[in-house]
Amino acid sequence: MELVIAVFIGILYACGVYLILRRSLVKLILGVFILGNATNLIIFLAGGLERSGIGFIKDSPMETVQMSDPLPQALILTAIVISLGIAAYILALMYKFFKVTGTHDLDQLKNTEQK
Amino acid sequence: MILFGFIIFPLIYILINFLPVFHRLKQGLAIVFALINILLSVALLAEVKDAGMVKLEMGSWQAPYGIVLVADRFSAFMIAISALVILATVLYSYHSIDEERKQTGYFQFLFGIVMGVNGSFIAGDLFNLYVWFEVMLMSSFILMSHGGERKQLEGSIKYLILNLVSSFFFVAGIGLLYGKLGTLNLADISYKIFSHSDPWSSITSPLALIMVGFAIKGALFPFFFWLPASYHTPPPAVSALFAGLLTKVGIYSIIRFYTLVLYTNHEFWNLTVLSIGVLSMVIGVFTATSQYDFRKILSFHIISQVGYVIIGLAFFTINSLAAAIFFLGHNMIAKTNTYLVAGWVEKRTGTLDLKALGDMFRENKIWSILFFISAFALAGIPPLSGFVGKYAIIKSGIDSGHMLVALVALFVGIFTLFSMLKIWMEVFWKQRPETIESSPKQGPEKLMVAGSALLALGTIGMGLAGIPVMDYCNAAAADLMDPSRYVEFVLN
């Protein structure tokens, strides 16, 4: 199962990088979202995948080996909330940029470039 | 408890700002809260001077399990310098930012940056550091695009995407490191790696990911391209704040991470960090000399000057580390001030193109002297602070046997002087070309001068009081060079 998810993460990264390198602003933003999700999956995988057992210790002592580590899941939750905020901002920025310039072509961003 | 204040006071200010009334009062309160921040940082300096380190376990969870805030001498120094920079920028913004931006939450987001920067300096574990980075970045994204001018939006997109990519590197590194070590507390990571016999084969890749994340944030070679493409687009007060604080947080994290974790694999990391530092230094200064925009020259100089700090770290002796800390502090103050002067020039003339400027010395002597002080502090002219910092870095380099690197640093110093002289001659000294119309903006400037003068005094103070400040930096470096102190203090 770990291997499948690891390969899946690799594919997501490939898609994300491909989209980021496109000229369209919309695709750039989609690429950023995909990269963010791939990164969250890495944290998820780092905690280890266990089929049984949740990370919750009851009164009776139980086998802790079978538990999956709850901390990475808490970390992902934080990371997801942060990426939600960033997604909201980035969409607003794109809307504003489109309104001001009337284009979503990244090659038009040359005005601020260093010569 | 004092550590908590660095986070809670900016947060209180942010919350106050959600009230839809009392706009004047809220803007005035920004100055009050910046002063509170300074007072807190002075109190922290006093406390750290005696105790060495301070820590706060959030929610009383013990160190490796809960979130812990730690401040040692290095953190306290950085917090104090950034508090000074923040106060100066708030004062300056009060008279330089237009009313519309101020009423739509300019100071609110500025304090978001304050909270993020303070938090990063006292964060005791990696994930917490990441969260503070994000707090800081979100506020900086908004300030970067605040106002919505076309060039601002272009700059923000570049700034935003590359900083997000750096966050992804950082988080991926954190995830993999946690998978290998089972902890995120910096002290605990340091302890586990130190007590492990040969951990390097499995954790070098997460550490490299984390370092790439920091290097993008710190605008080091070869990851610096976002900085000169974006820092000259927002209002001058904003770019001054960014120049003074944001890249420096990345550099702070590199120093902290290197001295706690990476030093155990010295052979690999030392050479990497040293060459990155040298290349940033050289390439930053060369690209700066070819620019003809006031703020772009300064932007490229940021890259060159963080290079100095990084070579100071890579020499890795107590003296060189102390010099690096001193130089970092000096650079935050002097660099911010040059941007503040650039803002004044833009306000008076409406342009920052060196070819269209001139005669500013005749127009206003005070601002010219303020620029002179900070620009020549950056170039390293005695008795200003840059001289002390550069001298200490180069001397420690020669002492530790890196003769060639020390010579390169001297060589880069000459080019720094050249481009500062270029700005001075073109903007302040030569006659203004007659053909070009200037379009000055109106408005009071008293607090702008006050903010800039505060930083100029800081530069002079750090130069004249070089020995006591350097002694403090030496104590801070001694703490950093002996990570077992930090580890024992945090983990008991």
Identity at B71, one-letter amino acid code? A
ipTM exceeding cut-off 0.85 for this assembly: yes
pLDDT digits (tens, 9 = 90+) for B28-52: 888 999 999 999 999 999 988 888 8
Place of tokens 């304050």: B114
Cα A47 to Cα A70: distance, rounded to the nearest angstrom: 8
Start-to-end CA span in chain A (Å): 50
Backbone angles phi, psi at A114, to 5 degrees: -75, 140
CA B265 from centre of chain? 27
Which of the 8 DSSP states describes residue B428? I
Interchain contact, A112 vs B230, CB within 8 Å: yes
Cα B69 to Cα B122: distance, rounded to the nearest angstrom: 5
Residues of B within 8 A of A44 (CB-CB) are 175
A21 assigned to some structural domain: yes
Place of tokens 């922290």: B44
CA B33 vs CA B130, B133, B249: distances in Å:
25, 21, 21
Cα B234 to Cα B140: distance, rounded to the nearest angstrom: 11
Q: Which two tokens stand for residue B449?
A: 């001068």
List alpha helices for B196-260, DSSP H.
Answer: 200-217, 226-230, 236-260
Q: Quote the number of domains for chain A.
A: 1
Residues of A within 8 A of B178 (CB-CB) are 43, 46-47, 71-72, 75
Neighbouring CB atoms inside 10 A of B312's CB total 31
Residues of B within 8 A of A43 (CB-CB) are 171, 174-175, 178
Q: Which two tokens stand for residue A67?
A: 């538990």
- Report yes or no: B148 and A96 within 8 Å, Cβ to Cβ: yes
Chain mean pLDDT for chain A: 82
Q: Which two tokens stand for residue B476?
A: 């801070």
Place of tokens 């899941």: A73
Give the global pTM: 0.93
B265-271 average pLDDT score: 85
CATH code for the domain in which residue A90 is found? 1.10.287.3510
Share above pLDDT 90 across residues of chain B, in percent, rounded to a whole number: 35
CA A59 vs CA A21, A69, B258, B322: distances in Å:
53, 18, 42, 52
Backbone angles phi, psi at B71, to 5 degrees: -130, 125
Neighbouring CB atoms inside 10 A of B259's CB total 21
Nearest to A46 among B168, B178, B229 (CB): B178
Question: Which candidate, B45, B68, B5, places its Cα nearest to that of B490?
Answer: B68
CA B262 vs CA A87, B34, B281: distances in Å:
34, 35, 22
The whole-angstrom distance between B116's CA and the closest CA on chain A is 14
Cα A84 to Cα A79: distance, rounded to the nearest angstrom: 9
Which of the 8 DSSP states describes residue B20? S
Instruction: State the sign of the Cα–Cα–Cα–Cα dihedral B251, B13, B234, B443.
Output: negative
- Report yes or no: B175 and A72 within 8 Å, Cβ to Cβ: yes
A60 assigned to some structural domain: no
Question: Which candidate, B185, B183, B17, places its Cα nearest to that of B106?
Answer: B17
pLDDT digits (tens, 9 = 90+) for B65-103: 888 899 999 999 999 999 999 999 999 998 888 888 888
Neighbouring CB atoms inside 10 A of B61's CB total 11
Share above pLDDT 90 across residues of chain A, in percent, rounded to a whole number: 29
Which of the 8 DSSP states describes residue B391? H
- Report yes or no: A59 and A44 within 8 Å, Cβ to Cβ: no
Least confident of B310-324, B333-347, B353-367: B353-367
Backbone angles phi, psi at B353, to 5 degrees: -80, 120
A contact test, residue of B154, B287, B291 with most A CBs within 10 A = B154
pLDDT digits (tens, 9 = 90+) for A38-95: 999 988 888 777 766 665 666 655 565 666 777 888 888 988 999 899 999 999 988 8
Identity at B101, one-letter amino acid code? R
The whole-angstrom distance between A23's CA and the closest CA on chain B is 13
Q: Which residues of B125-141 are buried (b: 16+ CB within 10 A; e: fewer)?
A: bbbbbbbbbbbbbbbbb
Q: What is the CA angle B136-B220-B480, rounded to 5?
A: 75
A61 assigned to some structural domain: no
Nearest CA in chain A to B230: A112
Interchain contact, B148 vs A112, CB within 8 Å: no
CA B361 vs CA B371, B429, B453, B459: distances in Å:
10, 6, 16, 21
Neighbouring CB atoms inside 10 A of A84's CB total 11
pLDDT digits (tens, 9 = 90+) for B411-455: 998 888 988 888 888 888 888 777 666 667 777 788 888 889 999
Least confident of B112-126, B257-271, B403-417, B431-445: B431-445
Q: Which two tokens stand for residue B283?
A: 């390439």
Q: Which domain holds residue A46?
A: 2-51+67-108
Domain positions in chain B are 2-432+442-491
Backbone angles phi, psi at B345, to 5 degrees: -60, -45
Cα B448 to Cα B456: distance, rounded to the nearest angstrom: 12
A56 assigned to some structural domain: no
Cα B464 to Cα B373: distance, rounded to the nearest angstrom: 13
A88 assigned to some structural domain: yes
